[in-house]
Amino acid sequence: MWAFEDNVTILDEDHMNEPLSQQSFTMIYEGTQFDGATAAGTTENTLADYYYVSSVTATGASTFSRVELELIRHGSGADLTLYLLDTTFSADGSAEGVVLETVVVPKEFIVTAVGTYLSIALNTTVTGAATYWLKTAKAGDATNHLSLIGLATDDSTCFHRVSASGSWTANNTLHFKAFHLNTGDIIHCVEGTNKYETYLYTGDYISTIYRYLPSSASTTAGVRDILTIAFDGDYITTGTVT
């Protein structure tokens, strides 16, 4: 399923009817954390300068439903591209690893303050106790970029490099939380294969919905909506889209 884009979208029956039709979907819940690195630290690691990878071990997990990264946006930011790599990745550059999932998060959905974790849907089957890798793509410039937050010291689980290929250099530990299982609140809905919704809560109620659907030609085009919901007591009164 794709969003429309001028001079790109094909206006035929298949393409036009798809957004109007029912789609298969997957609901992703808050879940249970099975790995993470969340110790105190405010060191910024800018994505304008480097690609980064962090190891994540699927201890006791058979699925990897979502991950949370601590990010900060500078200027207007840049879209985040996150890859989940399989166990064949090697930091010496001899193996790039097989990409199991690729997720793009629009820059508009990313906060501008340290201390807030961004949830990203993955919904991938994994093998318990195996080590996988979270890779973030280099993006942005000196003014408009994202930074990953982490510790001031490294523990040999995180690496960076300037180029899209080659060996990696040890990096300070990056903050993340990895989740599995269907427990707690609904956090994401994946509709079709590429329409993503993320739900933020105020108390027990969904107060903000992020919706992303790219076009077939570009991840930077398409639907990038933020819906803010207002309540009167227990009753929804308005929804404002920006």
pLDDT digits (tens, 9 = 90+) for 61-77: 999 999 999 999 999 99
Residues ≥6 apart with Cβ < 8 Å to 22: none
Q: Which pLDDT score, from 0 to 100, does residue 3 have?
A: 75
Q: Tokens standing for 95?
A: 């193996």
* Mean pLDDT score across all residues of the chain: 93
pLDDT band for 172, please (50, 70, 90 cuts).
very high
Over residues 154-179, the mean pLDDT reads: 94
Asked whether the predicted pLDDT for residue 54 surpasses 70, the reply is yes
Query: What pLDDT shows up at residue 72?
Result: 95
pLDDT bucket at 113, cuts 50 / 70 / 90: confident
The bridge status of strand 145-150 relative to strand 99-105 is unpaired
Cβ–Cβ < 8 Å for 159, 169: yes
Please report which confidence band the pLDDT of residue 6 belongs to, taking 50, 70 and 90 as the band edges: confident
Nearest CA among 194, 213, 190 for reference residue 123: 190
The pLDDT value given to residue 208: 96
> 119 near 197, Cβ under 8 Å?
no
Q: Confidence band (pLDDT; 50, 70, 90) for 185?
A: very high
Residue 193 pLDDT greater than 90, yes or no: no
Report whether pLDDT(213) > 70.
Answer: yes
pTM: 0.92
- What does the pLDDT read at residue 9? 66
Average pLDDT for residues 184-207, to the nearest whole number?
A: 94
The Cα angle at residue 84 between residues 193 and 154, in degrees rounded to 5: 150
* Model pLDDT, residue 154: 80
Amino acid 160: pLDDT:
97
Sequence-separated (6 or more) residues with CB below 8 Å from residue 175: 36, 37, 38, 41, 69, 70, 117, 148, 149, 150, 151
- What are the structural domains, with CATH classification, of the chain? 13-24+192-241 (no CATH), 34-180 (2.60.120)
Q: How many percent of the chain have pLDDT more than 90?
A: 80
73: helix, strand or coil: strand
Produce one character per residue of 50-87: b if its CB has 16 or more CB atoms within 10 Å, e if not: bbbbbbbbbeebebbbbbbbbbbbbeebbbbbbbbbbb
Q: Which residue has the higher pLDDT, 2 or 237?
A: 237
